[in-house]
Amino acid sequence: MAVIKSEVISAVVESYVKAAQQSLANWKMLSFAYTVNVMDLSFVHAHAFVFNRSLAETLRAAKAQS
């Protein structure tokens, strides 16, 4: 059985730790992007609701005047 040097072991462990940190950073970025998209969609939905409501009120007022 070959003797594995401690430098090799520490280099392998360090590469695994870096890969895990990068994976965690990617996951955080993805979850943040998902959260922002959901917030944007709810913002757009709320504004579309307000716009549709004001449009309906404008149409009702125009119909009442005619």
pTM of this structure: 0.43
- Give me the pLDDT at residue 31, please: 85
Distance between alpha carbon 42 and the CA centroid of its chain, in Å? 13
Distance between alpha carbon 19 and the CA centroid of its chain, in Å? 22
- What 8-state DSSP symbol labels residue 4? P
Q: Which of 47, 52, 50, 60 is nearest to 39 (CA)?
A: 47
Sequence-distant (≥ 6) Cβ neighbours of residue 1 within 8 angstroms: none
Residue pLDDT, tens place only, 2-53: 677 888 888 889 999 999 898 888 888 888 888 888 778 777 777 778 788 8
- Give me the pLDDT at residue 66, please: 74
